[in-house]
Structure 1
């Protein structure tokens, strides 16, 4: 049992001032008989906690889909080891290589394991509704549905077709049951509708009960919930930023609709609407629930901009992990040449004229100092102030910055797009320039590609942005073309076993 207690603390380190009793007494779903686990509210809570633990695993959002594999696939890292042929093949998105194929299969399989975890809850929860109190039925079911949709969406983003050319064939299984039977591969339309359906139901359920609709992030972090049906004794609902909360559902919907707009431009209106709902969120004092990170946050070494976190992973040993991955001896780095005006590679992302105040640049990058490493550039996003205990635990999955970029991207007019983008630039310290009068939509596209890469570096979004825009070469002005894309790179093959099942 000690092993599982450690893992639970890892997931919920942000709750260091609460009792956490319900969190600690957890047996993994696959080791706990169904007829015992799903007879009490505590059992359902434990099962959901198990799903969150699985999200943290290395082949899911604890590595591969955040700062590792998909970032190599976007060429955001360099192969710093001349002996590591696996990384060389991963950088080239060579899915014919057995090692690369094995890594991708691991992502696919583990995303579906998380889905199986929440499906075990969803299969039982309605029949056991009588065991719940104080909104826990709606909370647990809503979170489980949203996690199922979130994971299926990333299966689609990685293993699905180019979003502007989806075809009519069956693509991927949308799994809603725990069974050994083969699930049918759905068409793109049916698969994406299943994602939206789960998110719609989650939105309805969580809107009824989620304390994030009332309380501030600070109130919930201190478990200071003194209104309504939620009591200070119920520490399970504290720190909603590390759970699939109501606004995380809206943010996921904004992301999904923006992806769907590559095929159907009418979806942009929904993307903008849900992004705006997250931006407009306020607590009971009328204070915005989330705010864009500023230079003050950077100065405080809050490099992940925790006030922006709509949903984040809570990682117990993030400080050590970040140092091992991104530090002086870490493998996640860029090989670069020192030139007079800064870093050669980074000139493409952060032109010299824009660096003076850009908070994504200042204090975030530096050359390594160890012998033999001085041409490597390291990134400091996750290397933070060790005194800020709660902040160093969080690896963001959804941030407010994305909502402003979605609002900009989905705006129907040049003026509307410039309004949201100008505010975003002002908060990030970016010199704002209006979109070109000659072809403002192309100029917007090029700026958005750059912003997604700069803003979400080491957060797993660059590759998906390139795929969504069908980037073949990076926009003009990037003087060093370090990335080139194609459908062969963007569509990761499903595991062979899955292909054999569905003959696709």
Structure 2
């Protein structure tokens, strides 16, 4: 499928301007008298214009900070020395009081709550007695709107809320904005926020139970014989039914409800395996020389469509950045390299390991030793018009297997989950899973799967891990302060509440 056709279908049908500097945003352009708003919601297309605008706007926070950039630096993936001059040092050091960190945090907060406010307006128009939205599209639009509202709140909770437990669930967390007004809403406890997220996701799942993704798959082609309008295609770029189930599983894991999470992913996996909705990437696709699918796009349950992905890559991982790039520590491949340590023994054939390029920077010919920089290629721009060219994954099927493994009390089932992933990464899976190594094996595979996707920091936080792989040392671990898992609410928010 050609990129221009996705653009036509997914990006805004009309041009809407937005800003994150205040509560003014893309939906409220010249709507002071309500005329434009009424016109926009006078037909089905207007509802999808606003919904598409919401997905497009996600890129502002998730395109960098909450996917491949800030949040992954906070997971200590990359070589960002604590005492160096790297521009991302404040994030690796959790320097929450630094003005630059405060600015980043405030921008994320304002943008995402502004986006939630507009999603609430969309939902309100869906439910109007004389709504112009047809009964065919109502469950899709409202279901996706609720799912978006829940997902954004959940990520805000995971960032700013406490490490969730029975001891902290009553702790102050974040506001939950579920009414379309400009009043200041109270800051709720973590448990209260989770309750509202669960409510929204359950309602979204019910509305999306007949999602075309369940009958027709993700629909990444432009076949003229496809009976579904463009609004109902490209389901990987929307919070489809399966993505909602995945969010429910994540939420249950966050709350410690492993039985509910297990039931959620077990049902999901049984259905998508039978229908081959999210098939494993093929060897041909993963190792293509002309257009390598390094994001394993067929496996993505939900992701962003970001035409600026190449620019983001250049600004974070590009070789021209040299010491300012986000890179792996250490030099060239060897048993003592970061690549070998991260991907494990006998991993040279791993598709994920092949996402890195090692560039020699100096050679000591007398000693026979070379040093170099290991650059990520995961989001490097491809020159063909494949549909995954601008994809940034936010949820993938392998995470569901890892949730199942983490929740299972059956070591054979755990082994099978890990085997599924490793086999489909071009690896053997001969290590026997035991009660002693189970958690470590799951953590290692999770880190390998979601690099550049903004999930590892939250995984560490959920487990309250005080020690994990270092980004600046090949063999030693990073010692984490539990307090660093909780980002303070932005001053722009707390000052307004005084």
Instruction: State the TM-score, normalized to the length of structure 2.
Output: 0.86
Q: Is the 8 A contact 1:66 1:460 kept in 2?
A: yes
Distance 1:499 1:21 in 2: 36
Structure 2 SS opposite 1:463:
helix
- Is 2:177 aligned against 1:175? yes
Unaligned runs of 5+ in 1: 1-11, 262-266
Distance 1:391 1:329 in 2: 25
Alignment partner, residue 379 of structure 1: 376
Alignment partner, residue 127 of structure 1: 128
Distance 2:223 2:81 in 1: 44
Alpha-carbon distance, 1:317 to partner:
3.7
Q: Is the 8 A contact 1:309 1:399 kept in 2?
A: yes
Alignment partner, residue 447 of structure 2: 453
Bigger mean CA offset, 146-155 vs 294-303: 294-303
Alpha-carbon distance, 1:368 to partner:
3.0
The count of residues paired between Structure 1 and Structure 2 equals 470
Q: Describe the shift of the 1:84–1:224 C-alpha distance in structure 2 as closer, same or farther (beyond 3 A).
A: farther
The CA deviation string for residues 235-292 of structure 1, in whole angstroms up to 9 with x for no partner, is 222211111111111111111111211xxxxx11221222233323359xx6411122
- Is 2:272 aligned against 1:278? no
The CA deviation string for residues 110-157 of structure 1, in whole angstroms up to 9 with x for no partner, is 221221121111122101564123621111101100000000000011
Out of 240, 253, 256, the position equivalent to 2:251 is: 256
Distance 1:340 1:202 in 2: 47
Distance 1:30 1:306 in 2: 34
Q: Is the 8 A contact 1:453 1:462 kept in 2?
A: yes
Alignment partner, residue 458 of structure 2: 464
Distance 2:222 2:330 in 1: 46
Alpha-carbon distance, 1:82 to partner:
8.6
Distance 1:161 1:490 in 2: 8
Q: Is the 8 A contact 1:338 1:375 kept in 2?
A: yes
Alignment partner, residue 49 of structure 2: 46
The CA deviation string for residues 353-406 of structure 1, in whole angstroms up to 9 with x for no partner, is 231332211x21122357899732101111254224312121111111111111
Alignment of 1:103-182 (within 5 A): 103-127=104-128, 130-133=131-134, 135-164=136-165, 165-182=167-184
Q: Describe the shift of the 1:225–1:134 C-alpha distance in structure 2 as closer, same or farther (beyond 3 A).
A: farther
Alignment partner, residue 238 of structure 1: 233
- Is 2:330 aligned against 1:327? no
Out of 19, 27, 30, the position equivalent to 2:28 is: 30
Distance 1:293 1:68 in 2: 25
Structure 2 SS opposite 1:428:
coil
Alpha-carbon distance, 1:41 to partner:
2.0
Instruction: State the TM-score, normalized to the length of structure 1.
Output: 0.85
Alignment partner, residue 185 of structure 1: 187
Q: Describe the shift of the 1:55–1:279 C-alpha distance in structure 2 as closer, same or farther (beyond 3 A).
A: same
Q: Is the 8 A contact 1:75 1:482 kept in 2?
A: no
Q: Is the 8 A contact 2:301 2:396 kept in 1?
A: yes
Distance 2:205 2:237 in 1: 17
- Is 2:417 aligned against 1:414? no
Q: Describe the shift of the 1:335–1:391 C-alpha distance in structure 2 as closer, same or farther (beyond 3 A).
A: closer
